[in-house]
Structures are given as C-alpha cells and as structure tokens.
Amino acid sequence: MYDLTIIGAGPAGITAAVYAARKKLNTLVITNNIGGWAATSSEVGNYPSYQFITGPELAKKFEEHLKSFELDLREREEAISIEKINNIFKVKTKKEEYESKTVIIANGRIPRELNIPGEKEFKNKGITYCATCDAPLFAGKDVAVIGGGNSALDAVIQLMKIAKKIYLINLTDKFICEEVRLDKARNSEKVEILENTETKEIIGDKFVSQMKVLKEGKEKILDVQGVFIEIGSVPTIIDVKTQDGNLKLNKGNEIIVDQYCKTNIPGLFAAGDVTDVPYKQIIIAAGQGSIATLSAFDYLSKIK
C-alpha cells in the first residue's frame, strides 16, 4: 500500500515526486519515460537558473534529481486505469496493479495526429512527431514540417542544420509562435514557407516519398522523404472509475482542477499539461507538481 502514486515523470510528476520524498511519503512513480515532452525540445530558454539548456539535458537533470531519493520508480510502464474502492485507489498498468491512498495524474500530453490517408501507414517510416528524437535520421534529405506554433518552428530550426530543404506548411497565414523563431525560418535559404496550405495525403512505397497538399484550391505534390507533424497535442487519457462519480474534464478532455490541484474525486489530484491550467509551460507544470503533492500530504494527514 503506497501513500501516493504519481503517474508520469515529466516536470510535474518529477517535482511532485521530489516533494513526496522530502515529506517521507511511501511513493510510487509510474512512467513511460522520464522528462516527458519537455525532453523533446531543442531549446529551453525560460527555465530559472538555466540561461540556456536543451530539453534532453534538462530531462537528464530531472532524472538525476529524481533518482537521488528513495522512491519506487517503475520506468517504461504505462498506467491504463484508476479505480477507487472504499477510499483506496487501484492503479492498473499493462504489467501490474498497485494500491495507493492518493494519486496524482501528471502524464502530460501526446502529439495530435492529422488523421489523413497515409499517416498510419508511414508512421515511423518517414513520418515523425519529434524533431529532437528523429531529425538526425533525415540528414541531406527534403522534408516537410506541418504546423504554425513554437513546436513546428523548433523542428524547422533543428532541421536547418541537418536537412537539404524544409517545407514549412501552415494551414493559415497566422503563426502562433515566438517571432525570433519565425524570423530564423524566413531568413533561411533552406526553408520554403507554404501558408494557407492543407496537407491532404502522405504518399510512398515502403517509406515516405511524396505528400499531397492543397494550396488556395490548387493541388500540389511535394517530393519529401520525411514529414514532421507538429500540430499541437491532446491530453493523455486514463480511464477513471470511482464511487464518487466521473472525473470532470473540460471540452478539450483536460482534467479540471482547483488552485490546490484537486480534482472532483477526493484523494485524486492532477498536475501539469494534462490539466486545464491555461498555459502549458515547464515551469508551470513543475509548480503544479509541488502543489499537488502538498495537497495530497494534507489529505493524508486528515485521513490517518
């Protein structure tokens, strides 16, 4: 029986775990990977104490900090459901079932898919959702980046050092990103920006070789060997069953929490990008992680 089970080990989950260790809680951490989506960023420039650090470097710092404490850490394990019976939570993964007095959901988000022909067929065969992970595989090749936010521009900037040519494809003529990143793309001879352009199909044989786009009503074929889909993310969903009713979500399927990171289920907390917090930032997720553990500690002190 654990005092606290934390699902996820991104900025929110790791901070929650650090606070739990300092509070001497018997804590279980379940995670697919340490660092979460923060580990995929090529540049983190707004995290206090680091003027500049890459996502993988920050994730490594997170991991070192987490493993300096005595915690039960289950890596490469995915939580699939939570059930509450008589004030005890049963957390099921694909491998085990664990019992806990409290739970913090901090499993972040997953990339949003285009849901177009060819996407499923060529996933990991030229289609990728992580430039930091996969950009080196496309050295000297022609590629496309789909999206108009910071993640898309981040992918373009990484690929400028690696790829031969980059098409930046945006559905509208509006870019929701930092201007400095957009300026770097606009000033690169390698980058061709296609605005008001819709991606219709990914084409290939064993691997991606072309993509079909629609620009201002005219169909166009682009010869590319790689497609980076960077169109945002959706919350990671876990099935939650309790005697206290359904877990409340907003229209975007984000978990609704109050200022104490409490959900509508007593003893169940949530932190980070999986919640309805308005801004998805590493520092905000970390802050929520600390709040969630302090709230869980307060809850435990009242039920013991």
| Cβ neighbours, 10 Å, residue 55 | 20
Distance (Å, rounded) from C-alpha 136 to C-alpha 163? 8
Please tell me whether residues 104 and 20 are part of one structural domain: yes
State residue 304's pLDDT score.
Answer: 64
Tell whether 118 is covered by a domain: no
State residue 282's pLDDT score.
Answer: 87
Structural domain including 95 reads: 2-111+233-303
* Residue 41 pLDDT class (50, 70, 90 cuts): low
For residue 14, list its beta bridge partners.
none
State residue 43's pLDDT score.
Answer: 67
CATH number for position 140: 3.50.50.60
Q: Which amino acid is at 85?
A: I
Active site residue 177: no
Please tell me whether residues 157 and 224 are part of one structural domain: yes
Q: What does the block give as tokens for 175?
A: 């870019």
Tell whether 189 is covered by a domain: yes
Q: How many helices (H) and strands (E) does the chain have?
A: 6, 18
Please tell me whether residues 225 and 241 are part of one structural domain: no
Distance (Å, rounded) from C-alpha 104 to C-alpha 255? 11
Tell whether 275 is covered by a domain: yes
Please tell me whether residues 84 and 97 are part of one structural domain: yes
Please tell me whether residues 107 and 37 are part of one structural domain: yes
Domains held by the chain: number: 2
Q: Is 76 exposed, middle or buried (0-12, 13-18, 19+ CB in 10 A)?
A: exposed
Distance (Å, rounded) from C-alpha 166 to C-alpha 215? 17
Out of 188, 213, 229, a domain closes at: 229
Distance (Å, rounded) from C-alpha 157 to C-alpha 124? 21
Q: Which amino acid is at 271?
A: A
User: Where does the chain have alpha helices with state H?
Assistant: 11-22, 55-66, 131-134, 150-159, 179-186, 282-303
- Active-site residue identified among 3, 72, 130, 223: 130
State residue 124's pLDDT score.
Answer: 85
Tell whether 269 is covered by a domain: yes
Q: What does the block give as tokens for 88?
A: 């005890």
Mean pLDDT of all residues in 138-165: 95
Q: Which amino acid is at 149?
A: G
Tell whether 122 is covered by a domain: no
Q: What are the C-alpha distances in Å from 132 to residues 126, 148, 190?
A: 15, 17, 19
Please tell me whether residues 212 and 237 are part of one structural domain: no
State residue 118's pLDDT score.
Answer: 96
- Active-site residue identified among 133, 183, 258, 298: 133
Of 140, 135, 145, the closest CA to residue 163 belongs to 140
State residue 147's pLDDT score.
Answer: 96
Q: Which of 43-52, 106-115, 264-273 has the lowest mean pLDDT?
A: 43-52
Tell whether 141 is covered by a domain: yes
Distance (Å, rounded) from C-alpha 286 to C-alpha 15? 6
Residue 56 vs residue 251, higher pLDDT: 251
Pairing of strands 165-169, 142-146: parallel
Mean pLDDT of all residues in 271-286: 92
Mean pLDDT of all residues in 263-275: 96
Could you tell me if 295 and 267 are in contact, meaning their C-beta atoms sit under 8 angstroms apart? no
Mean pLDDT of all residues in 11-31: 95
Tell whether 177 is covered by a domain: yes
Report whether pLDDT(42) > 70: no
Please tell me whether residues 81 and 146 are part of one structural domain: no
Active site residue 133: yes
Please tell me whether residues 225 and 239 are part of one structural domain: no
* Residue 89 pLDDT class (50, 70, 90 cuts): very high
Q: What does the block give as tokens for 260?
A: 């104490």
Active site residue 261: no
- Active-site residue identified among 3, 72, 134, 239: 134
Q: What does the block give as tokens for 109?
A: 């988000």
Please tell me whether residues 75 and 87 are part of one structural domain: yes
Out of 229, 256, 288, a domain closes at: 229
